[in-house]
Amino acid sequence: TNNNSSSSLWPTNVEFSNNYKWDPTVPPSVKDKYSPPGKTRQRAPRHSNRVYFRKITDRDHPAHGEFGLYCAIEHATPGMWLLDYVGLVMLGEDQDKESDYVSDFGEKSELACDANGYGNEARFLNDFRNTGKHPNVEFNTRRDKNGELRQGVYVKLKKDSKTEGFDGIRRGEELLVSYGKSYWRSRVGNLTDFVWRMPGRPMPEGGKPKV
């Protein structure tokens, strides 16, 4: 499988784009700081050649039946940039608390980037919890050559990975990130009760809990 075959699976209710869309309620002084007027590059609406997405068929996976994001290149080395997380940028206090696709944005996390109805394939990144694996990618902001702030998805560095002997991600491996504890606490309450499979541990006897 590669990214070209997965593009036909793109959900019809989500507008594909590699450009950030700015909510009109964001003050121009804030937007201009992160998206310099007249300088921001308009990126083509094409899928990444470094990743692909597909339906998860593993019944033991916590997101079975939903989409996951996978490595499309032979070896994504530690620290490598894979793609940017793109969406609708708004003030943090205006974010949709019901959306499962919101990421912090801005140098002080004062903004939110929501890929619920607009964005690229980075929206299919799954959280590592209950997969039996540690996170292998992370979000880091960067400035492109035109000064635009971008939220990059990077392969974890060796020193930051909890996987023993980590040396990057191979073709076909799922990309897993940490959504953060606050994300899960707001949805499931007690994290201790929610996590039923720790990284590096086998499936519990009886399989995953019935929802």
Q: Tens digits of per-residue pLDDT, 54-100?
A: 999 999 898 999 999 999 999 999 999 999 999 999 998 888 888 88
Rounded to the nearest integer, the mean pLDDT of the chain is: 87
Q: Which helix (H) or strand (E) holds 152?
A: strand 149-155
> pLDDT higher for 30 or 195?
30
Rounded to an integer, what distance in angstroms lies between the CA atom of residue 101 and that of residue 104?
10
Report the Cα 119 to chain-centroid distance in Å. Answer: 11
pTM for the full predicted model: 0.86
pLDDT at 18 over 70: yes
For 113-119, what is the mean pLDDT?
A: 96
pLDDT at 137 over 60: yes
What pLDDT shows up at residue 94? 87
Report the sign of the C-alpha dihedral through residues 42, 46, 51, 55, in that order: positive
Confidence of residue 181 (pLDDT cuts 50, 70, 90): very low
pLDDT at 2 over 70: no
pLDDT at 38 over 80: yes
Rounded to an integer, what distance in angstroms lies between the CA atom of residue 204 and that of residue 109?
37
How many CB atoms neighbour CB 63 within 10 A?
Answer: 16
What pLDDT shows up at residue 192? 54
> pLDDT higher for 8 or 89?
89
Partners of residue 183 on adjacent β-strands: none
Residue 71 three-state SS: strand
